[in-house]
Structure 1
Amino acid sequence: MREIITLQLGQQSNYLDTQESYFTYGQEEESPVDHDVHFRPGLGADGTETYMPRTVIYDLKGGFGSMRKINALYEAEDGEPTALWNGQTVVQRQQPIGQSAYQESLDAGTAAPELTSSSVRYWSDFSRVYYHPRSIVQLNEYELNSSLMPFEKWAMGEELFSSLDKDHDIVDRDLRPFAEEADHMQGLQIMTGIDDAWGGFAAKYLERLRDEYGKIPIWVWGLQEPVMNLPREKRLLRLVNKARALADMYSQASLIIPLSIPQRLPSKISLDRSSLWQVSALFNAAIESTSLYTRIRTSDQVNSTSFGTATDLLNVFGKQTIANLQFSSVEPPKPAHNGTNGGMEFPTGRGELYDSLNAMEYEDQSDEGPQSGVASLDVNLSSLDGGMPPPVGFRPRRKPYLFSQLTTVRGDEASKANDLDEVDDEDRGRERPKTHRFKSNLSFPMLDSYPRIFRDSDENRLTEPLSIRTVLSADSSVTDNMKGLRATVVRSIGLEDREDIGNELAEIAEGYKEGWSSGSDDDEDD
Structure 2
Amino acid sequence: MREIVTVQVGGFANFIGSHFWNFQDELLGLAEDPNADEIFKNPLLDVDVLYRSGETHQGILTYTPRLVSVDLQGTLGSMSSRGTLYNVDSQAASEVNTWRGTVSTHASEPHQKNLFLQSLEEEQNPTERKGKKIDSQREYQEKDIVECLENGVKFWTDYSKVHYHPQSLYELSGLWMDVEDFDNYGIGREALSSGHQEDISERLRFFVEECDHIQGFQFIVDDSGGFSAVAAEFLENIADEYTNTPVLLYTTRGPASYMNLGQKKHKVVRGLHDAVSFSRLSSLCKLIVPLGLPSLSRSKASAYLSIKDEKPYHCSAVYAAALHSTSLPFRMQSVGRAADSQDVSGAVSVSDLVEILSGNARKNMVAILDMAMPAPSLSGRDVGQSMLGHLHPVTYEIAEDVEDSQAMETLNIHGVIGQGGHYASVSEVKDYIHAAYEHANAMPKFCHLSVARTPLPIPLPFPRIFSSLVGGQGKLLGEPIAGSLSRGSVDVHSIPIGTRLRSSIAILPHLENRLTHLQRFGIQRGAAGSELLRGWGFGRDELEEMGECLTRMVMELKPQAIMSDDSD
Provide the residue aligned with 2:393 in structure 1: 380
Q: Please give the alpha-carbon distance, in whole angstroms, between the structure 1 residues aligned to 2:164 and 2:4.
A: 16
Pick the aligned partner of 1:277 from 306, 313, 319.
Answer: 313
Q: What is aligned with 1:324?
A: 368
Matches within 5 A, 1:359-398: 360=388, 377-384=390-397
Tell me the amino acid that sits aligned with residue 409 of structure 2: Q
Q: CA deviation at 1:272?
A: 0.9
Distance in structure 1 (CA, Å) of the matches to 2:556 and 2:436: 35
Answer yes or no: is the 8 Å Cα contact 1:329–1:468 preserved in 2: yes
Q: For the structure 1 residues 77 and 350, does the alpha-carbon distance in structure 2 shift closer, same or farther, using more than 3 Å as the test?
A: closer
Distance 1:126-1:170 versus aligned 2 partners, 3 A rule: closer
Q: Is 1:225 paired with 2:237?
A: no
1:372 aligned residue: none
Q: 1:19 aligned to 1, 18, 21, which one?
A: 21
Deviates more, 1:228-237 or 1:127-136: 228-237
Taking a change above 3 Å as real, the CA distance of residues 515 and 19 of structure 1, as seen in their structure-2 partners, is farther
CA distance in 2, matches of 1:81, 1:275: 37
Q: 1:151 to 1:508 in 2, by over 3 A?
A: same
Equivalent residue number for residue 536 of structure 2: none
Question: CA offsets, 1:220-271, max 9 Å, x none?
Answer: 1100221554232445533322211111122220110000225432331221
Once the two structures are superposed, the pairs formed by residues 47-446 of structure 1 within 5 Å of their partners are 47-76=59-88, 83=94, 86-88=97-99, 91-109=105-123, 111-112=141-142, 113-114=145-146, 115-143=148-176, 145=178, 150-164=181-195, 168=198, 170-171=200-201, 173-226=202-255, 227=257, 229-233=259-263, 234=266, 236-261=268-293, 263=295, 264-266=298-300, 267-299=303-335, 300-301=338-339, 302-317=345-360, 319-330=363-374, 350-352=379-381, 354=383, 357-358=386-387, 360=388, 377-384=390-397, 399-413=403-417, 415=424, 418-421=429-432, 427=438, 432-446=444-458
Pick closer, same or farther for the CA change 1:268–1:216 going to 2, 3 Å. same
Tell me the distance in 2 between the aligned counterparts of 1:136 and 1:486.
Answer: 35
Amino acid at match of 2:368: N
Deviation of the 1:81 alpha carbon: 6.7
CA distance 1:262–1:93, change in 2 (3 Å): closer
Which residue of 1 is the match for residue 7 of structure 2? 7
CA contact (8 A) 1:326 1:381 kept: yes
**Is 1:505 aligned with 2:550?**
yes
SS in 1 for 2:407: strand
Q: 1:449 deviation in Å?
A: 1.1
Task: Give the whole-Å Cα distance in 1 for the aligned partners of 2:375 and 2:444.
Answer: 27
Does the CA-based 8 Å contact 2:555-2:561 persist in structure 1?
Answer: no
Deviates more, 1:293-302 or 1:270-279: 293-302
Q: List alignment gaps of at least 5 residues for structure 2.
A: 35-40, 124-137, 340-344, 419-423, 470-476, 523-528, 531-538
Moved more, 197-206 or 111-120: 111-120
SS in 1 for 2:306: coil
Counterparts of 1:399 and 1:354 in 2: how far apart (Å)? Answer: 21
1:262–1:381 Cα contact (<8 Å) kept: no
CA offset digits 1:351-392 (Å, max 9, x no partner): 34835742x15xxxxxxxxxxxxxxx543122238xxxxxxx
User: Cα deviation per residue 1:184-234 (whole Å; 9 max; x = unaligned)?
Assistant: 111112111122111111112111110111000111110022155423244
| Distance in 2 (alpha carbons) for counterparts of 1:211 and 1:439 | 35
How far residue 406 of structure 1 moved from its aligned partner, in angstroms, is 0.2
Contact 1:384–1:485, Cα closer than 8 Å, also in 2: no
CA apart distance, 1:431: 6.9
Which residue pairs with 1:478 in the alignment? 507
1:407/1:126 Cα in 2 relative to 1: closer, same or farther (>3 Å)? Answer: same
Counterpart-to-counterpart distance in 1, 2:517 and 2:182: 23
The 8 Å contact of residues 478 and 509 in structure 1, kept in 2 or not, is answered as no
For the residue of structure 2 that corresponds to 1:268, the secondary structure is coil
Q: 1:92–1:327: structure 2 CA closer, same or farther, 3 Å change rule?
A: same
Unaligned runs of 5+ in 1: 334-348, 362-376, 386-394, 520-526
The equivalent of 2:516 in structure 1 is 487
Matched-pair identity in %: 23
CA contact (8 A) 1:396 1:480 kept: no
Q: C-alpha displacement at 1:158, in angstroms?
A: 2.1
Secondary structure at 1:107's aligned position in 2?
A: helix
Given that 1:480 and 1:509 are in contact with CA atoms closer than 8 Å, whether structure 2 keeps it comes out as: no
SS at match of 1:63: coil
Change in 2 beyond 3 A, CA 1:331/1:286: closer
Structure 2 residue aligned with 1:461: 487
- Report the alpha carbon displacement of residue 284 of structure 1 after superposing the two structures with TM: 0.9
1:413 and 1:90 mapped to 2: Cα distance? 64
Shift of residue 72, structure 1, vs aligned partner = 4.0
- The answer (yes or no) to whether the contact 2:386–2:436 under 8 Å persists in 1 is no
Change (3 A) 1:258 1:130: same
Distance change in 2, residues 1:235/1:279 (3 Å): farther
Secondary structure in structure 2 of the residue aligned to 1:453: coil
Counterparts of 1:424 and 1:231, CA distance in 2: 45
The 4+ residue runs of structure 1 with deviation greater than 6 A are 423-426, 428-431
Q: Provide the aligned C-alpha RMSD in A.
A: 3.3
Q: Which residue of 2 aligns with 1:388?
A: none
Q: Aligned partners of 1:422 and 1:503: how far apart in 2?
A: 40
Separation in 1 of the partners of 2:191 and 2:118?
35
TM-score by length of 2: 0.75
Q: Deviations over 1:453-478 (max 9, x none)?
A: 22215255261311111110111122
Q: How far apart are residue 9 of structure 1 and its match? A: 0.7
Which stretch has the larger CA shift, 440-449 or 482-491?
482-491
Give aligned pairs, total: 474
One-letter identity of the residue aligned with 1:510:
M
* Cα 1:183–1:503 shift into 2, 3 Å: same
Structure-1 separation of matches of 2:96 and 2:382? 72
Cα deviation 1:118-162 (Å, max 9, x = unaligned): 211110000001111111111113356356xx1111012123234
Equivalent residue, structure 2, for 1:343:
none
Q: Supply the distance in 1 between the matched residues of 2:57 and 2:42 (Cα, whole angstroms).
A: 28
Pair 189,236 (structure 1): closer, same or farther in 2 beyond 3 Å: farther
Q: TM-score, normalised by structure 1?
A: 0.81
Counterpart of 1:524 in structure 2 is: none
Answer whether contact 2:185 2:227 (CA < 8 A) is retained: yes
